[in-house]
Amino acid sequence: MISFEPFRQSFDFWHRQGLNQYCRLMREQLEAAMLRPCRPHGLIISEQDTNGVKSELVYWDHDTPRRYVVYLHGGGYVLGSIDTHRELAAQIAHRANARVLIVEYRLAPEGPYPAGLNDAQAAYQWLLDIGVTPAQIAFAGDSAGGGLALALMQRLKAANLPLPAAGVFLSPWVDLTCSTPSLDTNTATDLILNKAQMQSFAHVYAGGHPLSDAGISPLFGDLSELPPSLVQVSRQELLLDDGVRLAERLQQAGSEAKISKWSQMPHVWQLLHRYLPQADEALRELGDFLQEHVRGEPV
């Protein structure tokens, strides 16, 4: 079992230990705690160099349609990897009948903003370079990865570059100023996240940039003319209001957005599909959404 106690230590503790060192320690503990299941029969994992960024293409058998999902993992911009999210990517590939490209973007403190955003864009460009059309691609991410996916959409739009066909945001962290009310009101019901920790990770990721910068907190960026989006969030987690506000502001800006709120679920409960029927249901909803909005070309 993973112990979340180190994640819930006070900011004073982190400051005394050295925040950068603490981030690296948490990364090592998360990697060590994750299960390493055997590869299921029929799952294909192909390592890729996506314009200089390490990635993996995950899909099931050779008949999978040419529908792609660029997946950006969560972890507060300081934790997480392909290894921690490969199993979730495999489930998304199965439910969406797609090929999922998991991107090993750079993490803070070694790679603060905009390093991860640059890496995500490079991986997306790689798909375009090999002939995949934007209509065949979706962006998806959990927690910080959801924020990164949204920031990438906004960057592409501002540069008049092609946008993907859809976006999926699982418990997204889109306001790194940590000003949404549920970061305080849901303190007692979120057993994973901690506001003080999130504030510290936000500063590590932002470096010298303002936390309200739209590239860092995409909730404050231009949300108009973005592709259809699905937002899944738990009513009990700290990031409830990040997800709700994202869906509301997308809708207010004229973009299509569906908000799906779930009760009594932990942060990014989709990772627990082996144990929670609600996670299985959420993945089914995600898969149906992607199949509806993202074109899948035959092999």
Strand partners for 45: 58
Is 73 known to be catalytic? no
Given 81, 143, 200, 217, the catalytic residue: 143
DSSP string of 166-221? EEEEES----TT--STHHHHTTTT-SS--HHHHHHHHHHHHTTS-TT-TTTSGGGS
How is residue 211 written in tokens?
């936390």
Given 85, 94, 267, 293, the catalytic residue: 267
Is 237 known to be catalytic? yes
CA-to-CA distance for 11 and 137, rounded, in angstroms?
Answer: 40
Is 293 known to be catalytic? no
Given 171, 237, 255, 293, the catalytic residue: 237
Cβ contacts of residue 265 below 8 Å, gap of 6+? 234, 235, 236, 237, 276, 278, 279
CA-to-CA distance for 104 and 86, rounded, in angstroms?
Answer: 11
- 219 to each of 9, 116, 206, how far by Cα in Å? 27, 18, 15
Helices then strands, counting H and E runs in the chain, come out as 9, 8
SS (H, E, C) 39-75: CCCCEEEEEEEECCEEEEEEEECCCCCECEEEEECCC
CA-to-CA distance for 237 and 219, rounded, in angstroms?
Answer: 18
CA-to-CA distance for 149 and 155, rounded, in angstroms?
Answer: 10
Number of residues in the chain:
299
- DSSP tag of 229: E
Where in the sequence numbering do the catalytic residues fall?
A: 143, 237, 267
